[in-house]
Structure 1
Amino acid sequence: LLEVYEKFDTCLLRLSENFSVVAWSLKMCPVYSNKLTPYYMRLITQNGEKWVYIVLGISAYSFGDRRHIIEWIPADPTTASNYSECAVVAGYRGSDGAPQIIIRAIVNNALVPGNMPKKNDNGYIGWEGEVHAAKTFELCCVKDETKISWKRFDGQLPERAIEGGYTADGVKLYIGRAAVRGALTPGAVSSLKMF
């Protein structure tokens, strides 16, 4: 979840069930490293197959105006490289380790967060049980990526979570990431569900 959360003295620890959260801050929690260290593992049975989900989260604490923390920039696979300085890397592809950046695109009348492996032909949006290729999308950009820290999530949406999109019915979607089949993949979170 892209979260702006006011906190003054100490860091808050959050635990995830099956996905992680993303947040921004001007003051970072010192107890977390920026390494992709698993904080939580869970065995999930999906379509008859068993997978271990390794969960990471991102969170931080802000004392400023959240409107200027992120910017969604219209892009496509050709122009996305123009924003490599500000694009948020939130995972990696399992096959070759290529970094995955956060994007969002319209799928079936929903604006859904997803990912684009750097130097790829498409963005990808996991939605309604399918992966949709996105030739045009919005890229999630930040001016200072040092304001990011991944941390666990307790399953409750933060009060100041920043929306990453919405469903066709108007339900807010947030940005999360989960380790699935050897990849750490950003995607959409709604309440306690990772798409």
Structure 2
Amino acid sequence: MIRPGHRHEPWNAFRDHELSDSPVYSWVQWSVTSGVPPATAVQAGTDTDGSPIFVGRATHYGTTLPAKVIPIRRVAYVSYDGIEIFKPNVEVLCGLGFTWVPSGRGHIPKGAVLCGSMASGEPIYIGRAHHDGSVTPGKIIPKHGSVYIPYGGYEHAHPEYDVLVDARKSQKQSVGGKWVSAESKGPVPIGALVAGNDSDGTQIYLGRVYRHGLVLPAKVIPRKQMCHVGDEGLEFEMTEYEALCHANVAWVPFRGVYPINAIECGLDRNGEKLYFGRGHYNGSLTPGKILECSKILKIPFNFKEIPLREFDILVDNSDPKNQCSQTLNWQPCTNKSPIAGKALLVGYDSDQSPIYLGRVKFEGNQLPAKVIPRKGLCRTGYRGKEYDMTSYEALCNARVTWVPFRGVIPSRAIVCGRTQWGETVYVGRGSYKGSLTPGRILENEKVLKIPYEWNEIAIRDAEILVEI
């Protein structure tokens, strides 16, 4: 069993019976006069000024409450009865193997860290919420349906929050299998998941490791007695890991939208969600971490972290209700051939000719295109101009819908491709001179650009295509 920390005092007084195989962690006595957090202290977020906030606990009127601990400012607070209360001495949670799971309205995910209980016996869990530019920890009392955080002298309630959980107990990590502890010098556990192969053909298995408070995907190569992980741009060697065994999972191509059954790994230092992925590089098929916001896979290879933009993502197939809702199906077509069956109709030209969605390669960019079979044309826009194309791919059999675009890319937005500089291209549509025309949306530009009458027209009142 991986032991990421050392026991400071018994945890059993507040431990859920389901957490008997939880990682070993501890509550360490700490004074605000210290100014430095204990080793492996669990960070919850940052204050408005960017100061790191750590998870603590303190007793108030006989009740043990979660505390926000800000060592750099030499302060710690709990919230109680509507106010924020300073605590000069607290205990700081230390250990590895934690993650934050989004939740809300009283729901507590499996593996949630129990802090204590009310006098009435109600459990108190550790949560966090965004407030006034901060990410602040506080207390969750399930029956209340909110997290209560101390901030600015008061206690603030938030119905939407994150819950601190033991990462090994996360609901999205059960996948019908089990994470089995192992060592790089020993044999791979029975039923371990094969993730790919090294450049010389040696099999690579999927692992996960605990490093500096993070849960990270790892590549495990038993024949070479290796377990390597990527972190902060570099590749590191690990001796202990966990292998995913006897799991009903699958690797599917990542199409720019996270499947509903994608398997989460944890969070990075900036709070960005991580998923398990794998990609081809230098003759290898190597597992690594997918960063949710950037939608990039990073794999450990040759002492570095290599970013990849084309990759597979690991999904859980154990629940039939949570199968991938779609796989984007782009069918090759030409202007001289009929449009592919069940192609996506997206709008109409100014003369009411139907327009379908296509995508094309143009000067190293992958871009949306308007396809008008009645006129035998396919056109795309780029750098302010409209261009004729002779071949394209049509989006077919897609379970998608259009939602208003407000300048922020939705989490399930459909990715058309990338520019030659690696910027993600999304699909939008907008009305112009009696037409409803598809075009491209770049996240940084926050505007739709459509091809129309040999120009590229910028439209701010637009819609963006998302997965249902």
Asked whether the two chains share a fold, i.e. TM above 0.5, the reply is yes
1:160 partnered with 2:412: yes
Structure 2 counterpart of 1:74: 332
Matched residue SS, 1:119: helix
Which AA in structure 1 matches 2:347? G
Q: 1:148 to 1:160 in 2, by over 3 A?
A: closer
Superposed CA deviations along residues 1-25 of structure 1, whole A, max 9, x for unmatched, are: x86686xxxxxxxxxxxxxxxxxxx
Alignment of 1:8-19 (within 5 A): none
d(CA) in 1 for partners of 2:257 and 2:343?
17
Question: Is 1:179–1:185's contact at 8 Å kept on the other side of the alignment?
Answer: yes
2:346 equivalent to 1:90:
yes
**Take 1:159 and 1:71, find their aligned partners in 2: how far apart are those partners?**
20
Q: Is the 8 A contact 1:175 1:187 kept in 2?
A: yes
| TM-score, reference length from structure 2 | 0.26
Q: Find the aligned partners of 1:91 and 1:169 in 2 and give their Cα distance.
A: 29
Pick from 316, 321, 324: which aligns with 1:65? 324
Which residue in 2 is equivalent to 1:193? 447
1:78 is paired with a residue of what secondary structure? coil
Cα distance change, pair 63–162 in 1 and its aligned pair in 2 (3 A): farther
Shift of 1:142: 1.3
Structure (1 or 2) with the larger CA radius of gyration = 2
Equivalent position of 1:121 in the other structure: 376
Q: Which moved more, 1:102-111 or 1:151-160?
A: 151-160
Contact 1:5 1:159 in 2 (8 A): no
Change (3 A) 1:185 1:134: same
Whether the 8 Å contact between 2:360 and 2:366 is mirrored in structure 1 is yes
Matched, 1:135 2:390: yes
Note the alpha carbon deviations across 1:101-144, whole angstroms, 9 max, x for none.
0001111211100111122222010111000111011111116x
Contact 2:259 2:324 in 1 (8 A): no
Of residues 410, 428, 447 in structure 2, which corresponds to 1:176? 428
Give how far 1:67 is off: 4.9
Query: Partners in 1 of 2:325 and 2:420 — Cα distance?
Result: 25
| One-letter code aligned to 1:161 | A
> What pairs up with 1:3-42 in 2 under 5 angstroms?
none
Unmatched runs of 5 consecutive residues or more in structure 1: 7-61
Shift of 1:66: 4.7
Q: Deviations over 1:28-52 (max 9, x none)?
A: xxxxxxxxxxxxxxxxxxxxxxxxx
Taking the aligned partners of 2:324 and 2:371, their CA distance within structure 1 comes to 28
| Alpha carbons of structure 1 residues 66 and 127: separation in structure 2 relative to 1, 3 Å | farther
Q: Distance in 2 between matches of 1:66 and 1:109?
A: 30
Aligned pairs for 1:103-118 within 5 A: 103-118=358-373
Give the superposition deviation at 1:162: 2.5
Paired residue for 1:12?
A: none
Q: Amino acid of the residue matched to residue 122 of structure 1?
A: L
Structure having the larger proportion of residues in strand: 2
Distance of aligned partners of 1:177 and 1:63 in 2 relative to their CA distance in 1, 3 Å threshold = farther
- Higher relative contact order by CA 8 Å / sep ≥ 6: 1 or 2? 1
Distance 1:183 1:4 in 2: 31
CA–CA separation in structure 2 for the residues paired with 1:5 and 1:183 = 33
Gaps of 5+ in 2: 1-255, 261-320, 450-468
